[in-house]
Amino acid sequence: MSNERTILVCAKETPDTYSDLSFSGGDVQFSNPRPVLNAYDASALEEALVLSEAHGFRVHVVMIGPERAAETLRKALAMGADEATLLTGAPEGADSAVIATILSSFVQQFGPDAVIMGRQSQDTDVGLAGTMLAEHLGWPWTTNAIGIRVEENMFWVKRQGDSAQESISSPMPCLITCSNNLNDPRIPTLKGIMASKKKPMHIMGIDQLPGGESLISTHPSTVVDALTPMPERSKGQVVEGDLETLVDALVKGLAAIPETGVDP
Amino acid sequence: MSSGEQSSGAQSSGEQSSGEKAQVEAWLIGPEAETHQAKAAQYGASILRLMNLEVDADQGGVKVSLGRRWVDAIDEIMTQSTSELNSEGHPSDSTLLLFDNTELTKDILGACGARLGAPVIADVVDLSWDGKQCIAQRPTYASKVMSKVITSGSVCLCSIRAGLFEPEEHPVDATTHHYSAPTTDALGQVLQALVAPEGDTVDLTEAPIIVGVGRGISDETGKELVAKLAELIQGEIAISRAHFESGMYSHTLLVGQSGKVVAPRLYLALGISGSIQHVAGMSESHTIIAINKDPDAPIFEIADVGIVGDLYQILPALNQALESKKDE
């Protein structure tokens, strides 16, 4: 089994940002208290599982988080990943750079053939950790994947660029970050959930990684100082009525914006 | 060199205690860097640093270079310009590197930060910098929460969300420095092909008027009505995720959390329900007008004008009304 190729999926647990949020004491609370697997990472995992089914990769998922996050990581095993590692003890307020440094240490020790991860997390929407990690590893990277296939020992990624789709081939090992438009992640089946309980889940302090002593004392270089509610857009006028009323309201609305070129 | 003296040679440094203004540079990197020269000077960049990049693929006028080339280029200009400024006796003690917030930037920003060993703040909507500390505001939690992020360092990197800062013309006599692109080791990576959409490619993030098309437009008839309307109001077409899957429009037009983030003067939302993911990409628009047949659609919660009705009835009548106004 030693020559089996491995895809490492780097995943993050996030609050359920699509549930209602409220502020209390400068902190944000969500109506669904259960954390979720970041949607973009779920797409990355789905793609890794599809590639595994076609090419026989072993799929390993790594997550940085508190011990409680094992529950979310278990969901990744229920979706079909073979094995998982939870890295605990990350510094308080770890930013993308700290996360990328920790992951880099893990990846170097682990030695996968590819790292596949979400292009951003659904809570902070930062989207930096992926290419930071690739740069630390000295690996080729492709971001915002909307299609991935493996051929001739290469990863072929279709990425959505600004004005075209780009088809990029990379030798292994390489790093790929995924759009959530890549696929619809599978829902764990009952059988998958039962099987996940027997799959290996390693819980490991980051101090156990190579360079672990310095990893636990790394200070994040960017600090989130305050969270405030976004100034809400106030609800404007809602127009109902016959066709003429609706069209009049639209023409008036369009004419109020000089750039439309519609005469007031 | 003390901080008070640094402005003359600084790279985009901020206002120091002496009150001297930051020196603003424009780094023009890319396949046809020199075409942007005049514009950069028009908006106040007094030093232009130009580097033409090797193009990995060219299709229908779209030229793309691998992300790694950009990172190498930025690293190279940083090194060269720092040593130039040092040898001229005007070393810079702090630099703020600003990026736009395109897919290209998202492809390279983290790697640039890691390469330069510099802190990075992405997708910034408000920013202050005093040469030492950088304080940024950025939307988070699907644009429902504003996050204040602080960093410091001799070099800081930020990407700026489009459409929120009014560009001010401030013509200067700019000095131009030319650099050759360093040799990039692509690490075996090859940009094999580009699929460029047909027709003109538009930069949605710079469009003043955007017509967003959602699930409510479902066929060719609807598509034609939308195209006609967009032409009449000089708008560019964007899509919600529904049309990422329908195949009716180019994928490059996607607006939302996983697509482009836009803040035009007007966002006209046609048949868009207003999912959290889509709204995260357009909620900073100056004015939002929405048409939807569902009076309970969430888009009406943020629209300045909400029109409840059937697009297939409204659009023909609206187009006709706008056309007859033009003929007057």
Q: Given pLDDT bands bounded at 50, 70 and 90, which one contains residue B252? A: confident
Q: How many Cβ pairs within 8 Å bridge chains A and B? A: 284
For chain B positions 205-234, those within 8 Å of chain A (CB to CB) are 208-209, 232-234
Q: Where residue B244 falls among pLDDT bands split at 50, 70, 90?
A: confident
Contact yes or no for B258 and A180 at CB 8 A:
yes
Report whether pLDDT(B22) > 70: yes
Nearest residue in chain B measured CA to CA from A161: B103
User: How would residue B13 be classed by pLDDT, with cut points 50, 70 and 90?
Assistant: very low
Beta-carbon separation of A169 and B305 below 8 A: no
Best B66, B258, B311 member to test A by mutation, with max A CBs in 10 Å, is B258
pLDDT of residue B168 exceeding 80: yes
- pLDDT per residue as tens digits for the range A158-209: 999 988 999 999 999 999 999 998 999 999 999 999 999 999 999 999 999 9
The single residue listed with the structure tokens 């915002």 is: A144
End-to-end Cα spacing for chain B:
66
Residues of A in contact with B114 (CB under 8 A): 97, 100, 131-132, 135-136
pLDDT value, residue B20: 56
The C-alpha atoms of residue A32 and residue A25 are separated, in whole angstroms, by 18
Q: Do A144 and B254 touch (CB under 8 A)?
A: no
Instruction: HSE, CB side, 13 Å, CA atoms: give it for residue B286.
Output: 18
pLDDT at B199: 64
Predicted local confidence at residue A3, as pLDDT: 65
Residue B160 backbone phi and psi in degrees, to 5: -110, 125
User: Chain B 130-149, CB below 8 Å of chain A: which residues?
Assistant: 135, 139-149
Is B108 near chain A, with CB under 8 Å? yes
Indicate the length of chain B as a whole number: 328
What are B307's strand-pairing partners? A239, B291
pLDDT tens per residue across span A80-105: 999 999 999 999 999 999 999 999 99
SS3 content of chain B, % helix, strand, coil (to 5): 30, 30, 40
ipTM: 0.94
pLDDT band at A231 (very low <50, low <70, confident <90, very high): confident
Test B318 with A169 for CB contact under 8 angstroms: no
Asked if the domains at B3-179 and B204-327 fall in one CATH topology, the answer is yes
Specify the CATH superfamily of domain B3-179. HUPs (3.40.50.620)
Is B126 exposed, middle or buried, given 0-12, 13-18 or 19+ CB atoms closer than 10 A?
middle
Mutual angle of helices B103-116 and A129-137, in 10-degree steps: 50
The 3-class SS string of A99-155 reads HHHHHHHHHHHHCCCEEEEECCCCCCCCCCHHHHHHHHHCCCEEEEEEEEEEECCEE
- Single-letter residue type at B91: P
Q: In the β-sheet with B145-152, what is the strand arrangement from edge to edge? A: A222-229, B145-152, B133-140, B126-129
Q: Would you state the structure tokens that stand for residue A75, as one six-digit string?
A: 């969901």
Q: What three-state secondary structure class fits B9? A: coil
Is pLDDT at A50 greater than 80 in this prediction?
yes
Contacting residues for A137 by C-beta, under 8 A, at least 6 apart: A104, A107, A108, A115, A173, A175
Model confidence at B245, pLDDT cuts 50, 70, 90, reads confident
Q: What is the CATH number of domain A6-216?
A: 3.40.50.620
CA–CA separation, A50 and A157 (whole Å): 14
Q: Cα(A121)–Cα(B47) distance, rounded to whole angstroms? A: 37
Between chains, do B111 and A141 touch, taking CB under 8 Å as contact? Answer: yes
Mean pLDDT, chain B, integer: 89
Integer angstrom CA distances of residue B318 from B103, B236, B300: 35, 17, 20
The answer to whether B298 faces chain A, any CB pair under 8 Å, is: no
Task: Kindly report, residue by residue over B173-230, the tens digit of the pLDDT.
Answer: 999 999 999 999 999 999 999 987 776 667 888 899 999 999 999 999 999 999 999 9
pLDDT at B39 over 70: yes
Please tell me whether residue B121 adopts helix, strand or coil conformation: strand
The tens digit of pLDDT for each residue in A20-46 reads: 999 988 889 999 999 999 999 999 999
What are the extents of the domains in chain B? 3-179, 204-327
For B204-327, CATH number out of 3.40.50.1220, 3.90.79.10, 3.40.50.970, 3.40.980.10 equals 3.40.50.1220
Query: What does pTM read for this prediction?
Result: 0.90
Residues across chain A: 264
Which pLDDT value is given to residue B19?
Answer: 43
**Sign, CA torsion A199/A200/A204/A206:** negative
| Residue ranges per structural domain of chain A | 6-216, 233-264
Helix axes B103-116, B67-87, angle to 10 degrees: 50
Task: Answer whether B110 sits within 8 Å of A96, measured CB to CB.
Answer: yes
pLDDT at B200: 62
Average pLDDT over residues B112-120: 97
> Which band of pLDDT confidence, cut at 50, 70 and 90, is reported for residue A8?
very high
Inspect the interface and report whether the beta carbons of B149 and A119 lie closer than 8 Å.
no
How much is the average pLDDT of B25-33? 92
